[in-house]
Amino acid sequence: MATVKPFRGLRPKAELAAKVASPPYDVLNTEEAREMAKDNPYSFLHINKPEIDLPPGTDLYDDSVYAKGKENLDRFIKEGVLIQDEKPCFYVYRQIMGNHQQIGLVAGASVEEYEKNLIKKHELTRADKEEDRVKHVNTLNAQTGPVFLTYKASEEIDALINQIVSRDPVYDFTADDGIQHTFWVVDNDEEIKRLQEHFAGLDCLYVADGHHRSAAATRVKQMRQKQNPNHTGEEEYNYFLTVIFPHNQMYIMDYNRVVKDLNGLSKEEFLQKVSEKFEAEKVGANIEKPGQKHEFVMYLDGDWYRLKAKPGSFNQNDPVEQLDVSILMNNLLSPILGIGDPRKDKRIDFVGGIRGLEELKRRVDSGEMKVAFGLYPTSIEDLMAIADAGKIMPPKSTWFEPKLRSGLVIHLLD
């Protein structure tokens, strides 16, 4: 089953929603966030990237950063920028990017079900990033960034959600990047009950994006449970902020790779080694993205190449080994280019597909990188199969678009 809980959301006044809503904390660096928020005192970046209001060079993990986030959140509440709903509600959040539309339920998801793997994961977390989110949530006493969950689509849930989005929304704006964000409040008790009943009929939920936030919510819950002799399991810290989308509305883009050097090989030696596990065709100065699974594109020395994994070069029956990110790592990046742990190796970098193949070409042509690889996107079905098998996807396997905006609703922990 999947437990979803309404909550008293803390959210912007309608006329300020577009100014408050910001990109997630982890898609901007400090300089980008400071520039984006410099003329906007209402930007949620003052809360989820609070180092922008501290002296340049401040350690991102210094206690002063979390304290500033708490100070800014309290100020937003005091000044009436953010107002808490009177009763527990669900919310519905629609995003439109070009021809793609996705509509999700904003709800509290159960930490206990996350602990029991009824909310399934597919990634490992990094200790430093997880600790950062623990301190942020605990200091602010709030979950400020939603976890992106998915589930196997349900016609009954679709029908309920479509009924809700036929009404007038409370927020509807298009951000600077052209993505439209529309938001509804669900405060009708009967609709809340029916949504809970339909979600309770699902086998499980899946973390699509936000493993560090969900892991941090779990740690905060465990800390607070130990500190609370009257713990009942119904406290707000037992739930974490999520937006839950049906799997057939997910849009995953390619997540590409660039590498600094050829590991001491000449261009000819490198291409020879590549040809052992891949069919390689040089196509010249222009190319399109891979058109199907197990196809790759490579940019080297001013030319594009199309690569295709040779039959038998990977285990087709293993849900992790047959991923294109695994094939590239196991047959090329590791044995030929000597890339070790991709989480730590400084010779490799990752480029979200939203930036296009031109960004790969630019990184190589600039001399910063030597070779680039474009991949076919991982499918949501692959993600769910790996989570169902209790396995872990390689790092940087999925790039979800559009990104959820932070600040449209906050979950307070008391």
pLDDT band with cut points at 50, 70 and 90 for residue 285: confident
Tens digits of residue pLDDT in 85-100: 999 999 999 999 999 9
pLDDT band with cut points at 50, 70 and 90 for residue 325: very high
pTM: 0.92
- How far apart are the C-alpha atoms of 52 and 74, rounded to whole Å? 17
The set of residues, in sequence order, having a beta carbon less than 8 Å from that of 159 and lying 6+ positions away, is none
**CATH architecture of the domain covering 255-376:** 2-Layer Sandwich (3.30)
| Number of Cα atoms under 13 Å in the Cβ half of residue 372 | 28
| Number of Cα atoms under 13 Å in the Cβ half of residue 387 | 26
At 284 the pLDDT is: 86
Tens digits of residue pLDDT in 209-255: 999 999 999 999 999 999 999 999 999 999 999 999 999 999 999 99
Pick 353 or 81 by higher pLDDT.
Answer: 81
Is the pLDDT at 286 greater than 90? The verdict is no
Query: In terms of DSSP bridges, do strands 119-120 and 205-209 run parallel, antiparallel, or are they unpaired?
Result: parallel
Closest by CA position to 404, among listed 104, 85, 58: 104
Q: What is the DSSP letter of 334?
A: T
User: Where do the CATH 3.30.1760 domains begin and end in the chain?
Assistant: 255-376
